[in-house]
Amino acid sequence: MNLAKKVVDKMISGDAFSQWLGIEVLEITEGFCKLKMTVRDEMTNGFNIAHGGIAYSLADSCLAFAANADGIQ
């Protein structure tokens, strides 16, 4: 397992919100992250599309994982 994957696995294991989102890491390298998640009914807004907060949360997690994938603290 590469360092980026180890770092992100550790981050997700302590991140109950990312776990609740159901985030799946499709690809992770130093400075790059590709995620996927299924939008559930409780994540939608009045137009029956993903609530902006959910979309932002996915983007926030993706940025955090990519930025920390090098393991430097």
> Using 50, 70 and 90 to split pLDDT, how confident is the model at 1?
low
Counting Cα atoms < 13 Å in the Cβ hemisphere of 28 gives 27
Instruction: Match 């180890």 to its residue by tokens.
Output: 6
Token match 């696995």: residue?
A: 9
Please state the separation of Cα 19 from the chain's center in Å. 9
Per-residue pLDDT reduced to its tens digit, 20-55: 999 999 999 999 999 999 999 999 999 999 999 999
Higher pLDDT, 51 or 1: 51
DSSP sequence for 21-40: HT-EEEEEETTEEEEE-PPP
